[in-house]
Amino acid sequence: MHNYGVEVTLLEYMPRIAPLEDEEVSAELEKQYKRMGVNVMADAKVEAIEDTGEGARVTFTKDGKEQTIEAAQVLQAIGFAPRTEGFGLENTGVALTEHGAVKIDARMATNVPGVWAIGDVTGAKMLAHVGSAQGIVCAENIAGVDTVELDYRMMPACTYCQPQVASFGYTEAQAREAGFEINVAKFPFQPNGKALALGEAAGFVKLISDAKYGEMLGAHLIGPGVTELLPELTLARFAELTPEEIARNVHAHPTLSEAVMEAAHGLEGEMINL
């Protein structure tokens, strides 16, 4: 909306505008939004939204003070919830979780033999590609053929804002809280030739690995086209590749993917072009 010339105010209830992402990614996104001219206010609690006839009046509290904004339109996003009512599930004996999602095991099976569930209704990780992966695993289990178990923490997540955000696995804070001894490396897009050619040099690639075994624990990217860079990293995690192996893989020049290679070199203590 801002790019179409609309004055935009973004109110976020949580302390950061991208609360599920790594703290540095969220801070960078807020910085870029403010640089564009978006009025960003995190840690702001919306108290009321009123229809004024000509628009809307939003009342919110920030820093203990109540404030109001007069707006032409309000777009409210409050997250997802599993839809399990209206299908007669209560007549089947299918168990639900405390959050109202269909309870499944690693095979996608419910507690009722012959009843399986996938997608948002399971509340596992409400993303289209995760639901698709669940469907494949479910079908394979029903057919009795070889399959895998999904690691939901390691599923890729993409946010199609500008600049884009992409991530998987542990954030730096989560990895430390989980007791891992970690290596962290961050490579900015500013020195990346392709990003400079695109005129979109904001952002970075941040990688986290286990210091002892070299296992990839997470990746957090913000910048041009980063949602397209994520599969290399999730594949590396799936195939148990180390940062050295990612870094040794020759990346074409000029490409945005070189930032991934550089960050992997950084995990090995030998970042080349920074």
| Residues involved in catalysis | 253
Q: Which residues in 132-166 are b (16+ Cβ under 10 Å) and which e? A: ebbeebbeebeeeeebeebeeebbbbbbeeebbbb
Long-range contact pairs involving 246-252 (C-beta distance under 8 Å, separation at least 24): 246/216
What pairing do the DSSP bridges indicate for beta strands 164-169 and 157-159? antiparallel
**Are residues 221 and 203 in contact, defined by beta-carbon separation less than 8 angstroms?**
yes
How many CA atoms within 13 Å lie on the side-chain side of 216?
30
Q: CA-to-CA distance for 230 and 118, rounded, in angstroms?
A: 23
Helices and strands in the chain, H and E counts: 7, 10
Which two tokens mark 196?
């400079």
User: Residue 89 in 3-state DSSP?
Assistant: helix
For residue 92, list its beta bridge partners: none
**Are residues 78 and 99 in contact, defined by beta-carbon separation less than 8 angstroms?**
no
